[in-house]
Amino acid sequence: MRIEGRTSREVVDSIERAVHAGMMAPGDVVPSVRSLASQLKISSATVAAAYRELRNRGVLIGSVGKDTRISMRPPLASRLGDALPEGVRDLSDGNPDPRLLPSLHDAAQACRFEQFRYGDATLLPGMAQLATRQFPEFDLREDQVCLASGAMDGVERVLTAWLKPGDVVCVEDPCYTGVLDLIRALGLRPLPVAVDERGPLPDSLGKALRTRVDACIFTPRAHNPTSAAVDAERAAGLGNVLKHHPEVPVVENDHAGPVAGHSYHGLVPGRRNWVAIRSVSKSLGPDLRLSFLAGDVMTISRVEGRQRLGAGWVSHILQGLVLHLLSDAGVRRLVAKADRTYTRRRKDFVAELAARSVQAVGRSGLNVMVPVPEESSTLRLLQDRGWLVRAGESHRLHSPPFVRVTISSLDAEDAAELAADFETALHPGRRSHLA
């Protein structure tokens, strides 16, 4: 599509319309500032201003010396979507296994819903106490907890409570693409911290914190996409780094909570400004848009106060469902079963890959990361064999290539087949000794 416009606002609108309509796709390169300015017969400063606004909003990505591209997940709603090719199984979506989620129909049948009015209490009776119980690692008062509409809603509310456009946020590299997209859409700047299978590296975090940093976001376990999980030793090392920067707020996105497959070792205890977030999406179902937030009193007050000005509250219907589900012994047993099942599937798949000399990381959560020499060719070869996995590009800042496999519904037979196809894709010409 031809980009149009005489002003920076018109150029921004033109590019956004093209992305919304699917005429410019994620990953497409846009013209250089000088080239577009010449094409439109406007000043380079006008085009640069338009590109800067689109970068700040997360529509464009790029840096000095690199092409400027449409981001992999531009923050523009569209009804367009790619249909899954026939015969291809989707292992790219990060979803929990529906077979390991409780029945919402049964829960709704057991709940008694009532109408609530403007000005009524925003939390159902017992919800604040339930929220404090989601964080047994902390000694919390009820004014230190609140609710949000899912983990990412919680992250956004915390960031806007702390930061302003232009501020710098430390993130893992690679990082959950939703966090990167949100940071860019809020006009914030991500600063990468290297990560291994045990979480952020203390030396890399220390180097980042020696520059200007306004907040940090970490995932202590079930890290998406790497599956990293912080252990006690790594938490102590990171804590030693962070204690020299008490003014930097830290948010932990512990999104998987009880189905993470790893114990929690956090970085926020004792900090001045902190938040820990735990969602029910992976354990009870993605459509239950509810997460629990714990934090320092002032941050929680800001988050809840701002929420009341906009959405007002998290639906009492959702609260009632979550209260019922988390009070049901059968549901708690199902959640524990899901945790064990995901752990087994993750370990089995990593073992199948290792038996074929394919390196992978699967320490916790619903995903396994497989380093690859080149992402697009690996995705193409796997899709030709019936598998859709996720490219790492949208997760990466400076880290090397990889693909991500969601293992939540990957049974043993499928894991062996997929591992064999990975071997074929990454080691062409080799005949598997397991064939």
For residues 42 and 6, the answer to whether their CB atoms sit within 8 Å is yes
Question: Is residue 75 situated within a structural domain?
Answer: no
Give yes or no: residues 320 and 348 share one domain.
no
374 CA to centre of own chain:
23
Question: Is residue 394 situated within a structural domain?
Answer: yes
Helix (H) / strand (E) element for 397: namely: none
Question: Is residue 211 situated within a structural domain?
Answer: yes
Q: Classify residue 351 as exposed, middle or buried by CB count within 10 Å of its CB (0-12, 13-18, 19+).
A: middle
Which CATH number do you get for residue 349? Answer: 3.90.1150.10
Q: Which token pair is 383?
A: 């899709």
Give yes or no: residues 196 and 316 share one domain.
yes
Which CATH number do you get for residue 66? Answer: 1.10.10.10
Q: Which token pair is 34?
A: 């000088």
Domain final residue pick, 289, 312, 327: 327
Other C-beta atoms closer than 10 Å to the C-beta of 253 total: 26
Rg (CA), the chain: 23
Domain final residue pick, 327, 346, 361: 327
Domain final residue pick, 294, 310, 327: 327
- Measured over the CA atoms of residue 221, residue 223, residue 227 and residue 229, the dihedral's sign is negative
Question: Is residue 77 situated within a structural domain?
Answer: no
Residue pLDDT tens, the chain, 435 long: 689 899 999 999 999 988 888 888 888 899 999 999 999 899 999 999 999 889 877 788 875 556 888 887 787 776 555 667 788 999 999 999 999 999 999 999 999 999 999 999 999 999 999 999 999 999 999 999 999 999 999 999 999 999 999 999 999 999 999 999 899 889 899 999 999 999 999 999 999 999 999 999 999 999 999 999 999 999 999 999 999 999 999 999 999 999 999 999 999 988 999 999 999 999 999 999 999 999 999 999 999 999 999 999 999 999 999 999 999 999 999 999 999 999 999 999 999 999 999 999 999 999 999 999 999 999 999 999 999 999 998 899 999 999 999 999 999 999 999 999 999 999 887 665 555
Question: Is residue 264 situated within a structural domain?
Answer: yes
Give yes or no: residues 284 and 149 share one domain.
yes
Give yes or no: residues 360 and 263 share one domain.
no
Give yes or no: residues 276 and 244 share one domain.
yes
* pTM, 2 dp: 0.87
Q: Which token pair is 195?
A: 């990560």
Question: Is residue 380 situated within a structural domain?
Answer: yes
Question: Is residue 302 situated within a structural domain?
Answer: yes
Question: Is residue 295 situated within a structural domain?
Answer: yes
